[in-house]
Amino acid sequence: MISLVVTGLSQAAVLIPLVLAVSLVFRVSGVVNFGAGNFCVFAGAACASWGTHNSGVGVLLTILAGGILGALCYVVAIVPAQRKKVPVIGLTLATLGFGLLLNFLTRTWFGGEPSIVQPWIHGSVSIGSYETSKQRLLVIGLSLLLVIVMWFLFDRTLIGHHLSAVSFDHELAEVYGVRTMRFELLAWVVSSACLVIGGVFQASLGSVSVDVAPTLLVLSLVGAVIGGLGSLFGAVGGAVVAGFVMTFTDQHIAASYHLTSLFVILSLVLLVRPTGLFTFRGTAERV
Partner 1 sequence: MSTIGLDKTAPRAQSPAPRKADGLKQALTSSWAKHVAGPLVLVIVGLVASGNDYYVHLASAGVIAYILTAAFNIVYGYAGIFNLSIVITYGVGAFTSVYLEVQFGIPFWPSLVIAVAVATVLSVLVAVPTRGLNELFLAIQTLAFALALAEIMVNWHKFSGGTIGVYGIPLPTFFGYQLTGGFLSYYWLAAFFAWLTYELVLRIHLSAMRRKLTALREGPRVLAAVGVSPDSTRLVAFALSGALAGLAGVLFAHFQLVIDLDTFSFTRLVALLLAAILGGGGYFLGPVFGVIAIVVMDELSLATSQAQDLVYGVGILVLVVLTRGGIAGGLDNLVKWIVHRRRPDPVGEPEPEDAESAADADPAAVTEAVTHRLADAVKAVHRDLRVEVREVSVAFGGTTAVNDVSLSFSTGEVIGLIGPNGAGKTTLLNAITGDVRATGSVRLGDDEILGSPPQNLVRSGIGRTFQSPKVIPELTLLENVMLAGDGIGKVGWFRQSLLSPAARRQAVAGRERAMTLLADLALADRAHSRAKDQPYGVLRLVEIARNLMLDPAFLLLDEPGAGLTEFEREEIAATVRALGARDLGVVLVDHNLPLITSACDRVYVLDHGQVIAEGPPAEVFAQQEVISAYLGVPG
- What's the angle, vertex CA 36, arms to CA 24 and CA 61, rounded to 5? 90
Q: Does 227 bind partner 1 (CB under 8 A)?
A: no
State which of residues 57, 89, 145, 253 lies at the interface with partner 1 (CB under 8 A).
89
Between CA 132 and CA 224 the distance in angstroms is 28
CB of 150 to partner 1, least distance (A): 22
Nearer of residues 84 and 122 to partner 1, judged by Cβ: 84
Q: Phi/psi at 131 (nearest 5 deg)?
A: -110, 135
Please name the amino acid found at residue 157.
Answer: T
Could you tell me the CA-to-CA distances from 73 to 90, 128, 187, 276, 282 in Å, in that order?
Answer: 14, 46, 12, 27, 31
Q: Does 215 bind partner 1 (CB under 8 A)?
A: yes
Piece of the chain touching partner 1 by CB under 8 A; list 47-55, 63-71, 85-93, 159-167: 85-93
Q: Does 281 bind partner 1 (CB under 8 A)?
A: no
Between CA 80 and CA 88 the distance in angstroms is 13
State which of residues 49, 218, 244, 280 lies at the interface with partner 1 (CB under 8 A).
218
129: left (phi over 0), alpha (psi -120 to 50) or beta: alpha
Q: What is the Cα 184 distance to its own chain's centre?
A: 17
Q: Does 197 bind partner 1 (CB under 8 A)?
A: no
Nearer of residues 169 and 211 to partner 1, judged by Cβ: 211
CA contacts within 13 A on the Cβ side of 175:
5
Q: Does 284 bind partner 1 (CB under 8 A)?
A: no
Between CA 285 and CA 171 the distance in angstroms is 17
Q: Does 86 bind partner 1 (CB under 8 A)?
A: yes
CB of 56 to partner 1, least distance (A): 31
| Site map 13..32 versus partner 1, x via CB under 8 A | -------------------x
Q: Does 274 bind partner 1 (CB under 8 A)?
A: yes
Listed in sequence order, the residues at least 6 apart from 264 whose beta carbon sits closer than 8 Å to its beta carbon are: none
State which of residues 77, 163, 173, 246 lies at the interface with partner 1 (CB under 8 A).
77
The residue ranges that bind partner 1 (CB under 8 A) are 32, 76-77, 80-81, 84, 86, 88-94, 96-101, 103-104, 107, 213-215, 217-218, 221-222, 225, 256-260, 262-263, 266-267, 270-271, 274
